[in-house]
Structure 1
Amino acid sequence: MAVVRVRQHVNPLSERYQAPVETPAWETLFANPQQPLHIDIGCGKGVFALHMAQLQPEWNFLGLEIRRPVVESAQKRQQESGLSNLHFMYCNVNISLRALLESWGDPNPLQQVSIQFPDPWFKKRHQKRRVLQPELVATLAEFLPSGGRVVVQSDVEAVAIDMCDRIAENPHFLRSSSDWLPTSPFPAQTDRERVTLEQGLPVHRAIFTRS
């Protein structure tokens, strides 16, 4: 059997990623679609969201990822787990997130968003490919309620600073602390977070609250 190699990085500005995703009927995906919703942007293999869904059954978890083969792997894990408060979707969040949130109707259950260890795109000319763009921040500000949170984490300090700067530009968000958080606010870890901590390297974390 041939081994399919999943690309570590994909260019979200490529034409192949510009088509908006079809919005689903959320009541067919979640047992209780009006539970508080946590969206994990760039969920990768879905390990974090899966563990969170197991630990916090009173929440729904939606993992969004731009690499289709990775999403298919995450969906298989969800199906094997039998969790009814967890779903994974393939999409480019900068194209599709607004439509996904609008399709939920009123009231919208979004309460928390995590963006963890995103592709760093180190070269200056490539930084427009980073996931957290001003339009995405504006969408999060529009749909998160007062008190809703955006949590960012990265093992690359420059990327963490850039994410914080992007969010802080929006007047609707307030950072919980000017310093990096010493520990994660979550009871579960991503694969990258676990490996980074095992190597004794720092993780740069911040929480922004919708005012």
Structure 2
Amino acid sequence: MRLRHITGSEDFVADSPYVVHRSERYRGVWNRELFPKPQPIHLEIGMGKGQFITQLAVLHPERNYVGIERYDTVLMKALRKRESAEAAGCRLENLRYLSLDARLLPEHFAENEVSKLYLNFSDPWPKARQANRRLTSQVFLDCYTKFLRKDGTLEFKTDNTGLFDYSLESIPAAGWTLLAVSRDLHRDPVLNEGNVMTEYEEKFSARGNPICKLIAAPPK
């Protein structure tokens, strides 16, 4: 589906004090330069409209969050969601954003700087020739190991069973360890505890689609 451009989104994102521009300057010093407190940093890659990461930032002020979204049109919607949350009294000093292609993340975060990654309802790129574009391909998994802590984790949710099956193979093949797997998250009493839903998750689960989730650890 073609993404509809919103006039003015580029300027809106460029003017936001919460979007980190020229973020390669902060590689290795995110906690010291960009957040009020030095706390574990969690990234959501492809955050969409921001519901998931905004709720996490509200629920967990003891962590610092960065939402990654390469499209300004979508990032603007996440910033609007932040505005609404703050107008309702939420404090979000622990939430920042990047407009960036995920392949470039090692240029913006140093080794061991990130504690957790979230991949939620990523584009499945279903054609075989598109495999390296999948966020759970070895190309991206190798990229994540350059900034994810050795004791860190990756959490992945999708309703696309083809992408999930692919990920169950690609993740161990890249040297990662699968820590937990569920093919029906909302019926899993352990993995579903404290689950925060994305906009897509709400929509897909309302249609009766089971949500798949896995948690993985990087190579030691």
TM-score over 0.5 (shorter chain) = yes
Amino acid across the alignment from 1:29: L
1:112-191 map, 5 Å:
112-171=116-175, 173-177=176-180, 180=183, 182=188, 183-184=191-192, 186-191=194-199
TM-score (norm 2): 0.75
Count of residue correspondences:
188
Query: Does the 8 Å CA contact 2:51/2:199 hold for their aligned counterparts?
Result: yes
2:84 is the alignment partner of 1:86: no
What's 2:12 paired with? none
Query: Does the 8 Å CA contact 1:52/1:187 hold for their aligned counterparts?
Result: no
2:13 is the alignment partner of 1:5: no
Query: Does the 8 Å CA contact 1:49/1:63 hold for their aligned counterparts?
Result: yes
Amino acid across the alignment from 1:209: A
What's 2:22 paired with? 22
Report the CA distance shift for 1:186/1:112 in structure 2 as closer, same or farther (over 3 A): farther
SS in 2 for 1:72: helix
Distance in 2 between residues matched to 1:178 and 1:186, nearest whole Å: 16
Q: Which of 57, 70, 82 in structure 2 is aligned with 1:53? A: 57
Distance in 1 between residues matched to 2:99 and 2:78, nearest whole Å: 10
Query: Does the 8 Å CA contact 1:29/1:84 hold for their aligned counterparts?
Result: no
TM-score (norm 1): 0.78
What's 2:114 paired with? 110
Identity of aligned residues (%): 24
Please report how far the alpha carbon of residue 79 of structure 1 lies from its aligned counterpart in structure 2 after TM superposition: 4.7
Please report how far the alpha carbon of residue 123 of structure 1 lies from its aligned counterpart in structure 2 after TM superposition: 2.6
Distance in 1 between residues matched to 2:74 and 2:182, nearest whole Å: 33
What's 1:11 paired with? none
1:36-51 map, 5 Å:
36-51=40-55
SS in 1 for 2:145: helix
**Unpaired runs of at least 5, structure 2:** 7-20
Instruction: Say which is worse superposed, 36-45 or 127-136, in terms of deviation.
Output: 127-136
Distance in 2 between residues matched to 1:92 and 1:42, nearest whole Å: 9
Report the CA distance shift for 1:209/1:58 in structure 2 as closer, same or farther (over 3 A): same
Report the CA distance shift for 1:31/1:197 in structure 2 as closer, same or farther (over 3 A): same
**Unpaired runs of at least 5, structure 1:** 8-20
2:69 is the alignment partner of 1:65: yes
Please report how far the alpha carbon of residue 36 of structure 1 lies from its aligned counterpart in structure 2 after TM superposition: 0.6
Query: Does the 8 Å CA contact 1:175/1:207 hold for their aligned counterparts?
Result: yes
CA RMSD of aligned residues (A): 2.5
